[in-house]
């Protein structure tokens, strides 16, 4: 029998729909997948070349558990350049992907029974990892009326003696919401007032649009820097999802705890991927690649939002970051497709799949009114997929 700790962990709904769509494709059925959680760009050549070099020079052995000195220094330089934050290498821990960083950071922060505040909609991994670490999830809802962002007042109301930390994810998966500097400063004031920590997931930092700027809560004050664990990584910024490199910047005691825990779980992240990541972060080619990718995502984002706004009954808040659009389709609930009543985001997604379009049900992110559409696919596929979605919606009775 599996342990109590693991018993309550939900399997990923995202993967379920994606698996169904894959199976249909394998059977020769045309499916447009709006489920992608990774950039559809290749890892740039200069990064691939660095990995090849790492192999050629025999950089293929264990590294320190917390990462190579070179990569940690490159990460410190990134924080100074992008976020005006000064970190020492001993405050940085490199992990096998940001997901692993989050798990280890939560394990270092949470005691059994501690509460962790999680704004909804949320990236589906957070609640499961909080539970796995013995924490209790406290959800606060941010609907479309507030642009899917929580207010400082909501946070203030949710905090009690058991609250240990807040998870803040900006730019946000699944909504694409980006908190402004002003909004973050208000939230920081509440955290400071109550003495709680923040786990700030900034993995989509570079993917912001329409004059939005990413702002890290750690840069609000010395206090916040001492009470924030920033999570970031290579996956989304450099199209390196398969390389599995994530990192944290944290107060020294937390970084030390994460490093020592990691030394017994995964040990160091892949040496070759670390070597390539150092090159990714330090070469001037990086900014060029990110700029080009960002521009293409922005074109698709605009196209998608314009199209969706013309579909009757859909409510779509314009996303300002990441590569997702979160769409409210609840006005169609109660209608039927092929004799089957659509009663929530899961049955909406299951039935839309019959017309060859795969979307992720919002219930996976804690919001059953919505579906998530990713624009990490070609503009041609976006167009075709939206036409199918429109056709599906029009055929509802
Ligand atoms: C908000 C968020 N944080 C973290 C991650 C994990 O990234 P990694 O590939 O580095 O594990 C993802 C991946 O989808 C994400 O959406």
Is 98 touching ligand 1 by the criterion CB < 6 Å?
Answer: yes
In short, whether 246's Cβ falls inside 6 Å of ligand 1 is: yes
Decide: 39 in ligand 1 pocket, CB within 6 A: no
Does CATH place domain 4-42+287-394 in 3.90.1150.10? yes
Tell me what the pLDDT averaged over the chain comes to: 96
Cβ of 365 closer than 6 Å to ligand 1, yes or no, is: no
Q: Does 99 contact ligand 1 (Cβ within 6 A)?
A: yes
| Predicted pLDDT of residue 13 | 67
Supply the DSSP symbol for 136: E
pLDDT at 268: 98
**Domain residue ranges of the chain, discontinuous segments joined by +:** 4-42+287-394, 57-285
Lookup result for tokens 């409510």: 315
Could you read off the pLDDT of 364-390 as tens digits, one per residue? 999 999 999 999 999 999 999 999 999
**Fold held by 57-285:** 3.40.640
Residue 22: what pLDDT?
Answer: 87
Does this model's pTM top 0.95?
A: yes
Pairing label, strands 115-120, 136-141: parallel
| Confidence label for 1 from pLDDT (cuts 50, 70 and 90) | confident
pLDDT tens digits, one per residue of 119-142: 999 999 999 999 999 999 999 999
- CA 38, distance to chain mean position in Å, is 10
**Which atom belonging to ligand 1 lies closest to the Cα atom of 37?**
14
123 Cβ below 6 A of ligand 1: yes
Report the chain's C-alpha Rg in angstroms. 21
What does the pLDDT read at residue 16? 77
CA 258 to ligand 1 center in whole angstroms: 18
Tokens of 35: 């489920």
As a whole number of angstroms, the distance between CA 97 and CA 235 comes to 8
CA of 235 to the centre of ligand 1 (A): 7
Give distance in angstroms: CA of 236 to centre of ligand 1. 8
């Amino acid at each position: 029998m599996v342990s109590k700790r693991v018993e309550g962990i939900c399997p990923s709904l995202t993967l379920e729909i994606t698996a169904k769509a894959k199976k249909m494709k394998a059977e020769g059925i045309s499916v447009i997948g709006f489920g992608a959680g990774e950039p559809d760009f290749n890892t740039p050549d200069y990064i691939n070349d660095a990995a090849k070099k790492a192999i050629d020079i025999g950089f293929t052995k264990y590294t320190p558990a917390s990462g190579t000195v070179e990569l940690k220094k490159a990460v410190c330089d990134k924080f100074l350049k992008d976020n005006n934050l000064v970190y020492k290498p001993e405050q940085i821990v490199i992990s096998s992907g940001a997901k692993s960083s989050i798990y280890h950071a939560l394990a270092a922060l949470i005691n059994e029974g501690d509460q962790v505040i999680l704004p909804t909609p949320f990236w589906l991994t957070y609640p499961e990892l909080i539970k796995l670490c013995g924490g209790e999830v406290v959800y606060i809802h941010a609907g479309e009326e507030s642009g899917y962002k929580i207010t400082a007042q909501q946070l203030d109301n949710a905090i009690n003696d058991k609250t240990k930390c807040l998870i803040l994810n900006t730019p946000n998966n699944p909504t694409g919401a980006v908190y402004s500097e002003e909004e973050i400063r208000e939230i920081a004031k509440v955290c400071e007032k109550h003495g709680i920590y923040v786990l700030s997931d900034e993995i989509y930092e570079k993917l912001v649009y329409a004059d939005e700027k990413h702002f890290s809560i750690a840069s609000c004050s010395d206090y916040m820097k001492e009470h924030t664990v920033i999570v970031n990584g290579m996956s989304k910024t450099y199209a390196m999802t398969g390389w599995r490199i994530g990192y944290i910047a944290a107060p020294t005691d937390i970084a030390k705890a994460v490093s020592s825990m990691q030394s017994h779980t995964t040990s160091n992240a892949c040496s070759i991927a670390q070597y390539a990541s150092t090159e990714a972060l330090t070469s001037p080619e990086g900014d060029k690649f990110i700029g080009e990718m960002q521009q293409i995502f922005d074109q698709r984002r605009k196209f998608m939002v314009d199209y969706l706004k013309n579909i009757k009954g859909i409510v779509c808040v314009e996303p300002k970051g990441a590569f997702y659009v979160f769409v409210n389709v609840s006005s169609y609930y109660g209608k039927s497709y092929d004799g089957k009543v659509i009663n929530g985001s899961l049955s909406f997604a299951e039935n839309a799949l019959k017309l060859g379009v795969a979307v992720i049900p919002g219930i996976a992110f804690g919001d059953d009114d919505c579906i998530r559409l990713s624009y990490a696919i070609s503009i041609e596929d976006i167009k075709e997929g939206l036409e199918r979605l429109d056709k599906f919606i029009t055929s509802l009775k």
